[in-house]
Amino acid sequence: MPDPVYSVYTADLVGFVQVQGFRPCMLTSDDTQIYGSCRPSAVADFQVRLSACIDDVAAWMPANRLQQLNTRPNKTELLWCATARRRHQLPTSALRIGLTS
């Protein structure tokens, strides 16, 4: 059962992730996973929305007395899932995270 204090504390985070059209499926004290899906034709828009969502998370953290978002390449991951027929439609460019990519 989740800690009620932690649940209240992260309610804002869950809210604006959902407003961006994503699902925060795993929230722990030091990790957040954001899930989403899109049609192959909407991958570019999905990538822009995901970057904006991560920007919102990054802004929310210091405003709530949390450490800055860790954007080191070995700490932030993006996993694209597609069928073998659709893999050619996945982006090859890196996801922009804050001022990094």
Q: What is the pLDDT of residue 8?
A: 62
Tell me, what DSSP letter sits at residue 41? G
Q: What is the pLDDT of residue 101?
A: 47
pLDDT band per the 50, 70, 90 thresholds, residue 79:
confident
The pTM assigned to this predicted structure is 0.75
Task: For residue 83, count other CB atoms closer than 10 A to its CB.
Answer: 8
**Residue of 45, 56, 48 whose CA lies nearest to 19:** 56
Q: What is the pLDDT of residue 51?
A: 87
Interatomic CA distance for residues 28 and 44, integer angstroms: 29
Domain boundaries, the chain: 4-89
| pLDDT tens track for 15-73 | 878 888 898 667 776 778 888 998 888 888 998 898 888 888 888 888 877 777 776 66
pLDDT band per the 50, 70, 90 thresholds, residue 95:
confident
